[in-house]
Structure 1
Amino acid sequence: MPDEEPQHRHILTFNFRQGRNKPRHDEAFASLWPRYGLDWEPGDGPIDFPKLFGRTAPVVLEIGSGNGEAAAAMSDADRARDLLAVEVYPQGIADLMDRAAERGLDNLRIYQGDALPLLWEALAPGSLDEVRVYFPDPWPKKRHHKRRIIQPDHVRTLTALLRPGGVFHCATDIEDYAEQMLDVLTAEPALENTADGYAPRPDHRPVTKFERRGVKAGRDIFDLIFRKRR
């Protein structure tokens, strides 16, 4: 009997470049994944956040946490909320787990893999307090723009997961992607812009090594902060 067709066929929004783990990366996974890792696979059903975090609190979703510099700092400064970080690269995940352990964080969990199945199957409508998409893969070639994570369908899905009044915060150092983000987020009827166009970088979003590299290269930084209509 043939396998059932998957519920969703989709274009990947990330370009997986397999790096080489250093011993410290392997050590972080061995010692810290049981504490910080989320073992979820398509078909597992919705995530029980109170069970995952050991408490009931507002939940923030960050897609593409990179090396975890921003995720760890923001979780440390905002311990009243829980953060679910999504990342595909094991080296970045290991770095984030190390940062979390150094800070003694209990309000952070990490999912390794493609964010889209997680959005479709694991998260309940209205379950998120905030969505963060910081410096996602820009897919600079025009023929690859369809791979960008900020697309109407994905934004519609993410917006449905936000509670009324919840925040949708994006940042990029790629001007044409910023323009696309602004167009797509503005076109989503359930969202409203908190600024007149691009927003000033809020103090609570730290400037990361990646961001400093973009500024050094002469690129502007664009923050977009929208809110789900009540």
Structure 2
Amino acid sequence: MSYPNIRPFQYQYLKAPRDFQIIEHRPMCLEIGAGKGKHACLFAAANPDRQLIAIERTRDKFQAMQKLHQSLAVQNILPIHADAIPWVVHALYPQQIEQLLILYPNPEPHNPTQRWLNMPFFEYLLSRVKSGATITLASNIEDYIHEAEQQLKQVWHLPYQKETIAADSARTHFEVKYLQRGELCQQLIITKPEGYQTRFDQVLPCCGQDQ
């Protein structure tokens, strides 16, 4: 097996997020950077048979998501206030995620190495995604999407489809704003093929290992 030509992610050095709690070991969907929770609530309502983990690092946005979640009394969302990287390392098992969503992430204009598909962590994240599952990456920045395409072809060797997001789409507050301004919003629907391997496929979450 030829692994991605990228340095291995050093998961073993990450401490658990503050107030970390172990979650159930069963299939989940995951939204990273869930913001104020608009898409998370829409997704949960449309998929009542699926459990969605909605993780947000920024306190104000997380509190807004919590408030929306409680007001709608949506049962199949688990809001998490944490940085996604250490949380994933400590919480998730291999092939646990049946759908992954990263909608309008910070484009990191001054530090492109921190973009999701440029980070060694992305290989670890792929190990948590089930074979045959999809990863949705959306952005209003054309160069961001183009760079992600190149990484998918040259580093990750993953199949994908590129889509233009409809002008009336309203999944997130950012999406509404960008589309109202007439910006081009696009998404990559990435599939993890059967048999795809990473260097972390046998690594249990840190909570499941001797510390």
Q: TM-score range by the shorter chain?
A: 0.7 to 0.9
Amino acid at match of 2:45: D
Cα pair 1:42 1:118 within 8 Å, conserved: no
Q: Residue 49 of structure 1 aligns with which residue?
A: 24
Which consecutive aligned stretches of 4+ in structure 1 deviate over 4 angstroms post-superposition?
42-45
1:73 CA drift (Å): 1.1
Choose from 164, 177, 182 the match for 2:131.
164
- Judged with a 3 Å threshold, the aligned counterparts in structure 2 of structure 1 residues 42 and 134 are, in CA distance, closer, same or farther, namely same
Cα pair 1:73 1:206 within 8 Å, conserved: no
Cα pair 2:96 2:130 within 8 Å, conserved: yes
Aligned-residue Cα RMSD (Å) equals 2.5
Deviations 1:137-170 (A, max 9, x none): 11223xx111223325232112111111111111
Q: Residue 63 of structure 2 aligns with which residue?
A: 94
Structure-to-structure mapping, 1:1-230, within 5 angstroms: 7-8=12-13, 41=17, 47-49=22-24, 58-141=27-110, 144-186=111-153, 187-189=155-157, 191-193=158-160, 195=161, 198-201=162-165, 206-230=170-194
Unaligned runs of 5+ in 1: 1-5, 10-39, 51-55
Q: Which has the higher contact order (CA 8 A, sep 6+)?
A: 2
TM-score normalised over the length of structure 2: 0.75
Looking at structure 1, the residues matched to 12 and 124 of structure 2 have their Cα atoms a distance apart, in angstroms, of 15
TM-score normalised over the length of structure 1: 0.69
1:44 CA drift (Å): 6.4
Looking at structure 2, the residues matched to 88 and 107 of structure 1 have their Cα atoms a distance apart, in angstroms, of 20
SS in 2 for 1:73: helix
- Judged with a 3 Å threshold, the aligned counterparts in structure 2 of structure 1 residues 42 and 159 are, in CA distance, closer, same or farther, namely farther
Looking at structure 1, the residues matched to 116 and 83 of structure 2 have their Cα atoms a distance apart, in angstroms, of 11
Unaligned runs of 5+ in 2: 1-10, 195-211
Looking at structure 2, the residues matched to 135 and 182 of structure 1 have their Cα atoms a distance apart, in angstroms, of 15
Deviates more, 1:106-115 or 1:94-103: 94-103
- Judged with a 3 Å threshold, the aligned counterparts in structure 2 of structure 1 residues 92 and 43 are, in CA distance, closer, same or farther, namely closer
1:181 CA drift (Å): 1.6
1:94 CA drift (Å): 1.7
1:173 CA drift (Å): 0.6
SS in 2 for 1:85: strand
Amino acid at match of 1:113: A
Identity, % of aligned positions: 23
Cα pair 2:42 2:171 within 8 Å, conserved: no
